[in-house]
Structure 1
Amino acid sequence: MGGPLVLLFVMCIGIIAAERKITIADKLREDSDLSQFLSLLERNAVANTSLQYRQLTMFAPTNEAFQRYNGEMDDSLVLYHISNLATTLTNLDYAISSEFDGNPPLWVTRRKDHMHDDIYINNAKVYVSRSFQSTNRNGKRQVLHVIDQVLQPLQPHGPGSSSSSVYNPNAYQFLEHSDEFNIGQHRLRSFRQKVNQLQKKEVFNADGRNTFFIPVDEGFKPTTRSDLIDEKVVDGHVIPHHVLFTQATRDTQEYETLAFSDNVKVIISFSTAMNGKEEITYVKSNTVAGDTKHSRGVVLADIVKANIPVKNGVVHLIQRPLMVVDTTVVDFLKEKEDGPLCKFYEVILDLGANNQFFKELTIAKDITLFAPSNEAWNEYSVQNIIRNHQKLMDILNLHLVRDRLPMDAIIHNNMNQIYQAPTAAPRKYLYFNVLIHGHNQTLTVEGGGVNATVTQPNIAATNGFVHIIDRVLGVPYTTVFEKLKTDPMLNITYNLGKRQMFNHQLNEMEHRYTYFVPRDHAWLKFQIRHPSAFKALFKEDFGYFTKQILERHVIRAGRAYTVSDLKLLANETHPFVLPTSRDPLRLRVKESDKNYYVEWNGHWIHVFRPDVECTNGIIHVIDEPFVLESDVRATGAADTLRLAYTVFLLILSFGFARIIQD
């Protein structure tokens, strides 16, 4: 009897459990991480009724999301997190209607990553694994999605003020009635006036899915800036067919604006940067094709109030108008106290308001400034340099080119040869390299031994361009070994140095190294002249010869020698002998047409990049290796010897085979 009774008991328990299926309301009460949302929900009669009797989808922010939220908090906010349709993640369309006053839409973004799709509701990311669906006590289907931000609707001013006459406004209605909405201290009258004056109302009234950028009144200083806004500039503030919330949009992904036509082409993208512990989001317009009224280049503006949802998309309030180029390089540096280059500007001013570098930035007509980001100045090695004003002046000059160099001009100049641009620092050049990843191009720049990546190119100014880079040039942070390993121009020498562990010494900090490093182009020229010798250098059993040749290029001593040092010691008439671990290196040095040459073994070799500073020495990149004819013959003789030895073994093997056969 025990068996049937147990089975009956289990079946009863199963029936009871089935009847008591967990509802969305149960799920909210059980999950302590959703307690603040539950508290808000319980205070709203409409939400409670919906939960008991209606079909719905609920987007529940976590407690952490509520702790970060700094908007208005009344119980009606919960209705912006509820829709009266039960919709799973799979069935979510590009928008879903909310229960908030006027039924404003919640915008859905699916952002594809390598492994999975991320889903966002407005600017809030959905925790996909925590989604849950069930039916309530009345059999109505309900769905719960957990999100990482509180959804913030566009609301009129606080409870004490009169309600707005507009519910669920589109972008133009928001612009027209912006004084009635809770958008902080921001005023939009200047841009609204231009939109009405230019009869561009329909651009912001357009149905569908759009992203709108509206500059605040503070961005119309100087007042002449307003005169530069025409119909095309207004179009450049609208991205059609895409609703782009900041967290849901990838950095640097480009979108065509309404100002993308046959003559003028304007694209927009987002970027983020850290300013101390605060993350700032910028929007940039890039006029890739311009005309007489619209200058090519990037205009950068930070978003002062992001992610304002409207009926036909989303609005972002920005610090200044896009597309309008009316500031100098210096104006851009000092435009905002917490701007993307505020630390660079502080460093310049620390040298004194009348320092030579600042004067040149102010009066120059055609310049390009490679400006280190705020984060770049936090490096420990950089902090030490700032205190040395003379050294700092040299470093600042290394970031300035007295010419207009937009990114496409640099890439074009770099197509057939390594492009080098003279800087404001005497006899110092910048060297460029273009890295291609699919359709994306990344520009790197090297100066004074430091390789930096251009993180924000082509910021346009009336007197030139600014490119933001991720490191301070001229302040070394790598050893000779690390520089060899990472410099794309020195791959062959680095790979040769792997033989016999030759490179390992170049990481030591006890000595100072002066290394004459043949660039890849130099070795390729050597390969054409001596193909068998070049091939032999990479063979496993010729590592000794390779090491001997490289030893001739390295001076290990108590100090490192710049080219200027060597020129003083070894001019055109008197050679100077430098000790190497191979044979003494006898050099003469001359300067011709702003280039340096070293004389070795009777002929002059161009120093392509002098004085590449490292933390434990200096690299001089040269256009020809220090290889003697005897080295070539030695590798050739060794090659012959190896061939003879192989033949000898074959003959020996053949002889043994004959003996066995006999």
Structure 2
Amino acid sequence: MKLNSNSQTEVDRQRSVGRTFYAMLEQDGLAIATLKYMPVTVFAPLNSAFQHMKHDSKDAHLVLYHMANSPHPLNTLGTTVNTMRTGNPPLWITRVKNDIYVNNAKILTHSHLTNLQHNHHSNKQVLHILDRVLEPIQFQSEAVGNVNPSAGDFLDEAENIVLGAYRLRNFRERLSKKAKKDIFKNEGKHTFFIPIDEGFQPPPRPEKIDELVIDGHVIPNQVLFTRPTPDSVPYQTLAFTDKIKVNISFSTEIDNNHERKYVKSHTIVGDSNHPEGVVLAEIVKANIPVKNGVVHLIHRPLMVVDTTVTQFLEDKEDGPLYKFYEVIRDVEGDFMDRLTTMRELTLFAPSNQAWRDESLTHVLRDRQKIKEILHMHLLEEKLPMEKIVYGNTNQLLQVHTLAPRRDLYFNVITNGSNKTLTVEGGGVNATVIQPDIAATNGIVHIIDKVLGVPVATVGQKMAQDPMLNQTYILGKTQGFNNQLNDKENRFTYFVPRDYAWRKMETKYPTALKKLFMRDFAYHAKQILERHLVVSDKAYSMATLRNMTQYESVQLSTVRDVVKIRVKEAEKSYYIEWNNEWIHVFRPDVECTNGIIHVIDTVFLRDSDITVTGGSEAAQPLRVILGFIVCLLISQYL
């Protein structure tokens, strides 16, 4: 591989790799001399890669940082290679399945130029193509001491390093005071998180940065750059000991096509000074390579729980919940006062991206509606994910919100050791994307949707809700479910949950099996039609209660009519049908074309069972009649 020749190969390479890097290489005398006389590996960025750079691409030593002083084909790349930049700072290699990363840049393994090998004057030379520029530490001036610093040296020399407006004095002082500098200077390969000075407010916070908290800012024996590191994978910190256990994981927020990287410490086992829970910090400057690993600057210290839920919302103008905070602030009412004064609370907070849903546009104009929606996200108790998972072990967990008669329902989806928590409220099923953020007076769970603003039709909601699975399957017969997506009508659907069908099985075991058979689909459809009211409006439980205060009411169903009466007792609704009071497990599940009321008992008459059972009993009679008819016909042939 002869990069200084005038061959066609060089011209092709210049066009493919990009003129920017090639022009920089031509101006670097040491780089040219190396290519002429020494074995080398060149990591060459594409021209488009320079668009991602954070500093001036005319750095005099940038080219040498892209060159290793020994040849490394893909199959021999280890975990690190030394560069030719002054001080020989290392490049860190990460393999993720079939991808290979150099620091935070990916090698384009499918490029015809990657892994290009050439022997030049008996010197083996290798070329790899990158999708990003490799960015070394950049100093304020050439006159610096340590040009290949460890994380500890980086902290000591922070004033001489180009870091924009970020200052690191406070954390450095805490390291000195607690005699913990050595862990940032330890040889090896580690990941370090350094909070900037701005994150040391309010004033009591610096005193909380003790030895264990400092240990909780270091992941030992792993170099984790942001791009190759998967989200939500926990890594043990130096604070993972017999007495206290702290993990760190990465996460990504996409807000209006803008990507933000976060890191969160999870204190799984704490003590009186280190409460359990999650502390979330934005990575404000990522992927700073050092001699013993990588440094990420974060906007606040990890592990330190010293803010209320309100202060967490206010913490950062462009933080993970700034849109939610804007909505709270813009709506006049007592929601913020309740957040501030409550001693214990759980807040299900929609992410910034969740508030950009177009279906919310009209809701945000309705102040009364948005007040109700906000209160649906707030519980008057501490409810960590562990407690929700435990509460969901034998039955579906249901909790009251601060919105009257608006409960939340949870579902835990287990995939191996991973657990995903979903929460349903007001017809919306949201996923918890950041659980267990700890505050002094409660817990915040960040969710991916705004609760209480339905976006699904009755049919779509039936298909999505795991609690309604049996009714949905039954409704597939003879196309009953098809009508549920009609947006011209308004449906009130009394839907038996799966529990209701299991309860029916204990009373009519044979009948239930038959209902789910194809031969009895007509009878199944008739039973479901009794549960579906079609009108020009949908009926909430409160409306039905008011309508039936003194006597029952007949509602037109798809089949005929259903006669019901509704009462409210002990914060629950009950429907009287066929002289039986039926518990409404989940009232008022709103949809775009109606309302679902989830009930604990099927609207089933004994005559339905007789008819259904008779279908099978009549089969021998049909065979006999058919035989007689055939016999009679044969006599006339």
TM-score surpassing 0.5? yes
Q: 2:516 is matched with which residue: 538, 543, 548?
A: 538
Q: 1-side partners of 2:64 and 2:626: how far apart?
A: 89
Length, aligned pairs only: 624
Q: Report whether the alignment pairs 1:350 with 2:330.
A: yes
| Maintained 8 Å contact 1:53/1:136 | no
Q: How does 1:30-41 map to 2 (within 5 A)?
A: 30-31=12-13, 32-34=15-17, 35-41=19-25
Q: Is 640-649 or 357-366 further displaced after alignment? A: 640-649
- RMSD of aligned residue pairs (Cα, Å): 1.7
Amino acid at match of 1:93: G
Q: 1-side partners of 2:547 and 2:386: how far apart?
A: 42
Q: Secondary structure at the match of 1:394?
A: helix
Q: Report whether the alignment pairs 1:100 with 2:85.
A: yes
| Maintained 8 Å contact 1:490/1:518 | yes
Q: How has the CA–CA distance of structure 1 residues 475 and 111 changed in structure 2, closer, same or farther, with 3 Å as cutoff?
A: same
Q: How does 1:424-443 map to 2 (within 5 A)?
A: 424-443=402-421
Q: How far apart are 1:23 and its partner, in Å? A: 6.3
| Maintained 8 Å contact 2:191/2:294 | yes
Matched residue, 1:186: 166
Q: Deviations along 1:261-296, whole A, 9 cap, x unmatched? A: 122111111111123332111111011111111111
Q: 1:320 is matched with which residue: 300, 307, 321?
A: 300
Q: 1:54 is matched with which residue: 31, 34, 38?
A: 38
Q: Is 127-136 or 495-504 further displaced after alignment? A: 127-136
Matched residue, 1:212: 192
Q: Report whether the alignment pairs 1:284 with 2:267.
A: no
Q: Deviations along 1:228-250, whole A, 9 cap, x unmatched? A: 11111000000011100011111
Matched residue, 2:291: 311
Q: 2-side partners of 1:244 and 1:363: how far apart?
A: 40
| Maintained 8 Å contact 2:73/2:117 | no
Matched residue, 2:11: 29
Q: How far apart are 1:136 and its partner, in Å? A: 4.4
Q: Secondary structure at the match of 2:74?
A: coil
Amino acid at match of 2:437: I
Q: Deviations along 1:438-476, whole A, 9 cap, x unmatched? A: 211000000001000000000100110000000000000
Q: 2:101 is matched with which residue: 104, 120, 130?
A: 120
Q: How does 1:616-627 map to 2 (within 5 A)?
A: 616-627=593-604
Q: Secondary structure at the match of 1:444?
A: strand
Q: How has the CA–CA distance of structure 1 residues 359 and 33 changed in structure 2, closer, same or farther, with 3 Å as cutoff?
A: same
Calculate the TM-score normalised by the size of structure 2.
0.96
Q: How far apart are 1:177 and its partner, in Å? A: 1.3
| Maintained 8 Å contact 1:274/1:375 | yes
Matched residue, 2:354: 376
Q: 2-side partners of 1:28 and 1:404: how far apart?
A: 65
Matched residue, 2:393: 415
Q: 2-side partners of 1:519 and 1:625: how far apart?
A: 9
Q: Report whether the alignment pairs 1:560 with 2:541.
A: no
Q: 2-side partners of 1:651 and 1:227: how far apart?
A: 97
Q: 2:580 is matched with which residue: 599, 603, 606?
A: 603
Q: How has the CA–CA distance of structure 1 residues 105 and 610 changed in structure 2, closer, same or farther, with 3 Å as cutoff?
A: same
Q: Is 640-649 or 215-224 further displaced after alignment? A: 640-649
Q: 2-side partners of 1:403 and 1:630: how far apart?
A: 47
Q: How far apart are 1:417 and its partner, in Å? A: 0.5
Q: 1:77 is matched with which residue: 56, 62, 66?
A: 62
Q: How does 1:163-562 map to 2 (within 5 A)?
A: 163-352=143-332, 355-562=333-540
Q: Report whether the alignment pairs 1:66 with 2:50.
A: yes
Q: Report whether the alignment pairs 1:132 with 2:115.
A: yes
Q: 2-side partners of 1:501 and 1:383: how far apart?
A: 34
Q: Deviations along 1:23-46, whole A, 9 cap, x unmatched? A: 696545313132211111000011
Matched residue, 1:88: 73
Q: How far apart are 1:644 and its partner, in Å? A: 5.0
Q: 2-side partners of 1:502 and 1:279: how far apart?
A: 44
| Maintained 8 Å contact 1:24/1:136 | no
Q: How has the CA–CA distance of structure 1 residues 22 and 501 changed in structure 2, closer, same or farther, with 3 Å as cutoff?
A: farther
Q: How far apart are 1:645 and its partner, in Å? A: 4.5
Q: Is 51-60 or 65-74 further displaced after alignment? A: 65-74
Q: How far apart are 1:148 and its partner, in Å? A: 0.8
Matched residue, 2:129: 146
Q: How far apart are 1:135 and its partner, in Å? A: 2.2
| Maintained 8 Å contact 1:328/1:462 | yes
Q: How far apart are 1:381 and its partner, in Å? A: 1.3
Q: How far apart are 1:639 and its partner, in Å? A: 1.8
Q: Secondary structure at the match of 2:405?
A: coil
Q: 2-side partners of 1:47 and 1:646: how far apart?
A: 94
| Maintained 8 Å contact 1:377/1:383 | no
Q: 2:556 is matched with which residue: 575, 579, 585?
A: 579
Matched residue, 2:635: none
| Maintained 8 Å contact 1:430/1:447 | yes
Amino acid at match of 1:203: I
Q: How far apart are 1:133 and its partner, in Å? A: 2.6
Q: Secondary structure at the match of 1:525?
A: helix
Q: Deviations along 1:469-524, whole A, 9 cap, x unmatched? A: 00000000000000000001000000000000000000000100000000011111
Amino acid at match of 1:413: G
| Maintained 8 Å contact 1:24/1:134 | no
Q: Deviations along 1:96-132, whole A, 9 cap, x unmatched? A: 00001100100000012xxxx1110000011012213
Q: Secondary structure at the match of 1:494?
A: helix
What percentage of aligned pairs have identical amino acids? 51
Amino acid at match of 1:428: R
Q: How has the CA–CA distance of structure 1 residues 64 and 552 changed in structure 2, closer, same or farther, with 3 Å as cutoff?
A: same
| Maintained 8 Å contact 2:2/2:35 | no
Calculate the TM-score normalised by the size of structure 1.
0.92
Q: Secondary structure at the match of 1:323?
A: coil
Moved over 4 A (4+): 21-28, 643-653
Q: How far apart are 1:186 and its partner, in Å? A: 1.1
Q: Secondary structure at the match of 1:39?
A: helix
Matched residue, 1:5: none
Q: 1-side partners of 2:359 and 2:624: how far apart?
A: 58
Q: 1-side partners of 2:181 and 2:188: how far apart?
A: 15
Q: How has the CA–CA distance of structure 1 residues 80 and 594 changed in structure 2, closer, same or farther, with 3 Å as cutoff?
A: same
Q: Secondary structure at the match of 1:634?
A: helix
Amino acid at match of 2:51: Q
Q: Deviations along 1:336-384, whole A, 9 cap, x unmatched? A: 11101000000001113xx211100011110000000001111111121
Q: 2-side partners of 1:302 and 1:544: how far apart?
A: 58
Q: How has the CA–CA distance of structure 1 residues 75 and 562 changed in structure 2, closer, same or farther, with 3 Å as cutoff?
A: same
Amino acid at match of 2:349: A
| Maintained 8 Å contact 2:74/2:115 | no
Q: Secondary structure at the match of 2:282?
A: strand
Q: How has the CA–CA distance of structure 1 residues 565 and 38 changed in structure 2, closer, same or farther, with 3 Å as cutoff?
A: same
| Maintained 8 Å contact 2:105/2:130 | yes
Q: How far apart are 1:74 and its partner, in Å? A: 2.3
Gaps in structure 1 of 5+ consecutive residues: 1-20, 656-662
Q: How far apart are 1:646 and its partner, in Å? A: 6.3
| Maintained 8 Å contact 2:575/2:584 | yes
